[in-house]
Amino acid sequence: MTTDDVIAATRQYLLPTYRRAPVAFSHGQGVWLYDLEGRRYLDFIGGIAVSALGHAHPALVAAIQTQAAKMLHVSNLFHIAEQAELGQWLVDHSAFDRVFFCNSGAEANEAAIKLARKWGRRDGRDRFEIIVADHSFHGRTMGTLAATMQPKYQQPFVPLTPGFVSVPFNDLDAIPAATTDRTVAVMLEPIQGESGIRPAHPEYLKSVREWCDARDLLLIVDEVQTGMGRTGTLFAYEQYGVTPDVMTLAKGLGGGVPIGALLVTERAAALGAGDHGSTFGGNPLACAAALAVARTIVQERLPEHAAAMGAHLAAGLQALVDRGLAKEVRGRGLLLALELHGEAAPVIDACRQEGLLVNAVQPNALRFAPPLIVQPAEIEQALAILGRVLAAAASKPAVGGAVPAR
Ligand SMILES: Cc1ncc(COP(=O)(O)O)c(C=O)c1O
């Protein structure tokens, strides 16, 4: 198939739920993706913060091939060695005691919401309300959509699941003010991802933790986007000096093989037999892949590498800001955003034509979530392309919309 064939078939046969760039890839290697016409691109989207090890990493390829030749799936009617091993790895490397496996970030958050509701009723009280933050993103299922406080995602699908209350992010006083006798949990992203890469202030999560302790609430952190080394530590909560009760993971966990996880401390482990389940959740293939990803992340010290490479990339982006070509750099590690003076879309198109893949987290902000294995030379290449594109856009603002600040 040529790219044109793929685009025509996509238009004819698929529901048009995605705005897709006019590219189809044949394969990848490391930080590079190759399209069907043989052009190569630096992948600074990383499958939206998924491809932690890049493309075709030998450890992940070998784990998938070996497991595929043994067995793919057996169901959770039986014990699964790979699932037990991955559960132990996650417990050994985090503050949590128990794990439930599913297939995506939304499913992990669904599980967290169900767990919180069950936990809130364990003592005869009827507590079910979860406090979330404005501009949050927790998924698009009917449960998680109600926790995703962005009108553009919610409005077409009302009525929403009840039981969610929203407060301004990073506002120390808002959560106490929103807490009632029905409140059971606070659910937050340590860095709000989909709404623009906005980190929680250092003192914010600490004060939320203290409030949760004082009022016997669960602190749920959604690390679907920030987890598995991306922000410079294995999990972002580690940088805030807090221990949550519940954490959700997906994206980077499987390095491209779909898998999600709910992690809980013993105190929060409220789900029992029959309370929740998933046919595919934690199947041997997904767990073998995630184990290979997890072990590689630790063996190759990828969180530390992400911190160093993130600092390098952030410095280069800041230089673009200093040249008046962009407004602001945000984020941690290899989860960064560059806010532009104008629209992101033409910049994204121009970067792609020059061989760099980035996407928009806001209409005027680019996101950078390259594989954690990215090297300085690749960052230099990406920055050179971006610099050229932004400079060209600044010289013809009607096209690129980028207006120098000075
Ligand atoms: C913080 C966060 N939570 C949940 C999700 C939903 O994950 P999924 O698309 O795997 O359902 C996302 C996806 O972008 C996310 O960034």
In this structure, the answer to whether residues 143 and 224 fall within a common structural domain is: yes
Per-residue pLDDT, 194 = 95
**Judging by beta carbons within 10 Å of its beta carbon (0-12, 13-18, 19+), is residue 17 exposed, middle or buried?**
exposed
pLDDT tens for each residue of 231-260 = 999 999 999 999 999 999 999 999 999 999
Mean pLDDT calculated for residue range 379-399: 89
261 backbone dihedrals φ, ψ, rounded to 5°: -150, 145
The rounded Å distance from CA 138 to ligand 1 centre is 6
Would the CB of 138 count as within 6 Å of ligand 1? yes
Indicate if the pLDDT at residue 213 is higher than 50. Answer: yes
Question: Do the bridges between strand 218-222 and strand 246-249 make them parallel or antiparallel, or are there none, so unpaired?
Answer: parallel
> What is the count of structural domains for the chain?
2
Which pLDDT value is given to residue 249? Answer: 99
Query: Is any atom of ligand 1 closer than 6 Å to the C-beta of 106?
Result: yes
pLDDT in the model for residue 399: 47
Q: What are the tokens at 296?
A: 């590689």
Q: Which of 267, 299, 331 lies at the terminal end of a domain, its last residue?
A: 299
Active-site annotation holds for 164: no
pLDDT at 401 > cutoff 60 = no
394 shares its domain with 305:
yes
Is the pLDDT confidence value at 403 over 50? no
- What's the rounded mean pLDDT across residues 309-324? 98
Share the mean pLDDT of the chain. Answer: 96
Nearest CA to ligand 1 atom 16: 225
Instruction: Check if 82 has its Cβ closer than 6 Å to any atom of ligand 1.
Output: no
The residue segments making up the domain with residue 103 are 71-299
Residues 281 and 311 occupy one common structural domain? no
User: What is 25-72 written as a DSSP string?
Assistant: EEEEEBTEEEETTS-EEEESSHHHHT-TT-BS-HHHHHHHHHHHHH-S
Q: How confident is the model at residue 396 (pLDDT cuts 50, 70, 90)?
A: confident
Average pLDDT over residues 143-165: 98
CA dihedral 53, 59, 65, 70 (to 10 degrees): -120
Residue 1's pLDDT band, with cuts at 50, 70 and 90, is very high
43-102 tens-digit pLDDT: 999 999 999 999 999 999 999 999 999 999 999 999 999 999 999 999 999 999 999 999
pLDDT of residue 400: 43
CATH number of 99's domain:
3.40.640.10
Q: Confirm whether 65 is domain-assigned.
A: no
List the one residue out of 238, 300, 381, 384 whose CA is nearest residue 52: 300
CA distance 81 to 297: 21
Q: Is there an atom of ligand 1 within 6 Å of 133 CB?
A: no
405 located within any domain: no
Q: Does 339 have pLDDT greater than 90?
A: yes
Give the residue from 248, 267, 299 where a domain finishes. Answer: 299
Percent above pLDDT 70 for the chain: 98
Residues 288, 320 within the same domain:
no
Task: Give the number of other Cβ atoms within 10 Å of residue 121's Cβ.
Answer: 14
Q: Is residue 406 part of a domain?
A: no
Q: Whose CA is nearest to atom 8 of ligand 1?
A: 105
Predicted confidence (pLDDT) at residue 402 exceeds the cutoff of 80: no
The mean pLDDT value for 343-347 works out to: 98
Q: Which helix (H) or strand (E) holds 16?
A: none
Residues 134, 257: one domain?
Answer: yes
Q: Is the pLDDT of residue 397 over 70?
A: no
Per-residue CA distances from 3 to 9, 24, 36, 39, 307 (Å): 10, 6, 6, 12, 36
Are 143 and 280 in a shared domain?
yes
> Is residue 222 flagged as an active site residue?
yes
**DSSP states along 290-318:** HHHHHHHHHHTTHHHHHHHHHHHHHHHHH
